[in-house]
Amino acid sequence: MSTLRVTAETLTIHPHPNADALELAQVGLYRAVVAKGAYRTGDTAVYIPEQSVLPAALIEELGLTGRLAGGNADRVKAVRLRGELSQGIVCRPGALAAVDLSVAAADGTDFAQALGITKWVPPIPPTMNGDVEAAPDLLPWVDIENIQRFPDVFAPGEPVAVTEKLHGSACLVTYVAAEERVYVSSKGFGAKSLALKEDPRNLYWRAVRGHGVPEVAARLAERLGAARVGIFGEVYGAGVQDLAYGADGRGRTLGYAAFDVSVEIGGAVRWLDAAEAAGLLDGELPFVPVLFTGPYDTARVLELASGRETVSGRGLHLREGVVIRAAAERYSPVTGGRAVAKAVSPAYLTRKGGTEYE
């Protein structure tokens, strides 16, 4: 899930092909439907991204009462308006009337707190919950930003690896070599340096034990001379999320696919390059499908984000999207962290009856 930032942005305005009274305001590669004439290209306005939870007063001010997502009708979600995908809200809240939004856009000011906007936190089903313990040695996961919000993460032509993004639940495993100890956590608990105590009923522990992840991590630690090995994977199947990939999260065919590896060697923690991680896990663990390796091209990446899933080999349902990584692991000044981003399928964003558990 992306980090939440509510910022002022410079807009590019496009005509709405199906509505005379509407236009499309572009922020990065996102487009949000706005009233015609409300903004011109070059104007600045506040952009509220998807997964934002708005306070009641702001919802009323924007005229969105009863029109947002969630049980409280307060969450921003992608929608189609007159046939065009609208992602996020473009507005000029009254609370910021005295703010020079052009200066704020240049400074990257975050208005989330000032506007009372918070990030939506998915619910945790009982099978993904459990008793937790402090885990200071747990290797953390990082939030992945959307390439449509940050289109300059990769330079055109830069070598990248594009993998399918699975709609399941992220599972964090850290193996500590000196203690021969394994920590298992979810993305939410892991962000708090908490690990789940082993429980055969817990979804993550079932996947980890069922696929032999601790043993693989131990072998990697010995092979690489690593003090700690982190294996990050997606647990999926029926009962986990609405997209099942032919697996059953409630039975013995619980799906698991690794997507990243980090290691601590000589006191330094690093992420393995995409090809190195896939190569080391080849024959050891299932790995997310690699859809493309080669020069980065935005249009190509957005094309790959849509289509049918390739995990099952049968194209059972739509694809959630893709994850893009620099072929050679590097720092990105755009994200302030790893050069990694995601692109999500419009069909996935607007599907009916979807689940979004953590």
pLDDT in tens, 228-262: 999 999 999 999 999 999 999 887 779 999 999 99
Residues 64 and 171 grouped into a single domain: no
Strand 340-344 to 145-146 pairing: parallel
356 falls within a domain: no
The enclosing domain of 201 has a CATH number of: 3.30.470.30
Residues 322 and 263 grouped into a single domain: yes
Residues 293 and 176 grouped into a single domain: yes
- Closest CA relative to residue 294, chosen from 146, 154, 162: 162
Whole-number pLDDT of residue 1: 58
Residues 85 and 26 grouped into a single domain: yes
The per-residue pLDDT for range 58-67, each reduced to its tens digit, is: 999 999 999 9
User: Taking 80 as the threshold, does the pLDDT of residue 182 lie above it?
Assistant: yes
Longest Cα separation, the chain: 67
- Residue that finishes a domain, picked among 90, 119, 148: 119
Compute the distance between CA of residue 51 and CA of residue 3 in angstroms, rounded to an integer.
10
Residues 87 and 146 grouped into a single domain: no
Residue 196 pairs in a beta bridge with 132
Residues 106 and 178 grouped into a single domain: no
Residues 92 and 198 grouped into a single domain: no
340 falls within a domain: yes
Q: Predicted confidence band at 122 (pLDDT cuts at 50, 70, 90)?
A: confident
Whole-number pLDDT of residue 60: 97
Whole-number pLDDT of residue 167: 96
Give the pLDDT mean for 162-190.
96
Residues 69 and 157 grouped into a single domain: no
Compute the distance between CA of residue 76 and CA of residue 170 in angstroms, rounded to an integer.
23
Residues 61 and 135 grouped into a single domain: no
How would you class 337 by CB atoms within 10 Å of its CB: exposed for 0-12, middle for 13-18, buried for 19 or more? Answer: middle
Give the pLDDT mean for 214-237.
97
User: Taking 90 as the threshold, does the pLDDT of residue 125 lie above it?
Assistant: no
287 falls within a domain: yes
Compute the Cα dihedral for 205, 211, 212, 216 and give only its sign.
negative
Residues 190 and 260 grouped into a single domain: yes
Q: What percent of the chain has pLDDT over 90?
A: 91
User: Taking 80 as the threshold, does the pLDDT of residue 358 lie above it?
Assistant: no
222 falls within a domain: yes
336 in helix, strand or coil? coil
- Residue that finishes a domain, picked among 119, 144, 165: 119
The per-residue pLDDT for range 85-107, each reduced to its tens digit, is: 999 999 999 999 999 999 999 99
- The DSSP annotation for 228-268 comes to EEEEEEEEESBTTBS--TT-BTTSTT-EEEEEEEEEEETTE
Strand 84-86 to 331-332 pairing: unpaired
Residue 27 pairs in a beta bridge with 30
Whole-number pLDDT of residue 91: 98
12 falls within a domain: yes
Contact, 345 vs 303, CB < 8 A?
no
* Average confidence score pLDDT of the chain: 95
Residues 162 and 209 grouped into a single domain: yes
- Residue that finishes a domain, picked among 119, 138, 156: 119
pTM, entire model: 0.88
User: Taking 70 as the threshold, does the pLDDT of residue 139 lie above it?
Assistant: yes
Q: Which domain holds residue 224?
A: 126-349
Compute the distance between CA of residue 269 and CA of residue 272 in angstroms, rounded to an integer.
10
What b/e sequence results for 54-93 when a residue is b if at least 16 CB atoms lie within 10 Å of its CB, and e otherwise? beeebbeebebeeebbeeeebbbbbbeeeebbbbbbbbbb
208 falls within a domain: yes
Contact, 159 vs 295, CB < 8 A?
yes
223 falls within a domain: yes
Structural domains in the chain (count):
2
Report the run of H or E that residue 85 belongs to, with start and end: strand 84-86
The per-residue pLDDT for range 25-64, each reduced to its tens digit, is: 999 999 999 999 999 999 999 999 999 999 999 999 999 9
Could you tell me if residue 223 is left (phi over 0), alpha (psi between -120 and 50 degrees) or otherwise beta? alpha
CB neighbourhood size of 36 (10 A): 13
- Closest CA relative to residue 270, chosen from 224, 323, 208, 333: 224
Whole-number pLDDT of residue 250: 84
Residues 115 and 42 grouped into a single domain: yes
Q: Predicted confidence band at 128 (pLDDT cuts at 50, 70, 90)?
A: confident
Contact, 326 vs 340, CB < 8 A?
yes
